[in-house]
Amino acid sequence: MSNVKYTKDHEWIKLEGDTAWVGITTYARHALGDLVFIELPETGRAVAKGDDFAVVESVKAASEIYTPVTGEIVEVNEVLQDNMDALKEDIDTGWIVKVKMSNDNEAAELMDKAAYDEYVAGLE
């Protein structure tokens, strides 16, 4: 999927026009272990590339989630409040927020699947 990009902080984005769906990768989920809580942001919040916008807590630790792009949070996946397992599902259900991007060039700077897989292989 060429419309999915990845960060070194283990977030992914799925691009749909000027909107980026943001979630965490399988690698991040495995590193965190059993997820127990997520602190979600408010819709309408402005975010800049690299800002933390949510916190995921697991039985091991709490971890911030960073936005890979600049823009405005236009939708929050409220299902996650009651169903953390949704993060483990596919991109269409496991997203955390949708960000209306203000700079399309930022998405182009992110890794594609092959580059991300190579990056993760170097971590092991």
Number of domains forming the structure of the chain: 1
Map 20-86 to HEC letters: EEEEECHHHHHHHCCEEEEECCCCCCEECCCCEEEEEEECCCEEEEECCCCEEEEEECCHHHHCHHH
pTM above threshold 0.85: yes
What digits encode the pLDDT tens for the residues 80-113? Answer: 998 888 887 778 889 999 999 999 899 999 999 9
- Report the alpha-carbon distance of residue 38 to residue 103 in Å, rounded: 27
Q: Residue 68's domain spans which residues?
A: 4-119
CATH assignment of the domain containing 16:
2.40.50.100
What digits encode the pLDDT tens for the residues 44-77? Answer: 999 999 999 999 999 888 999 999 999 999 999 9
- Report the alpha-carbon distance of residue 54 to residue 117 in Å, rounded: 24
Domain assignment present for 124: no
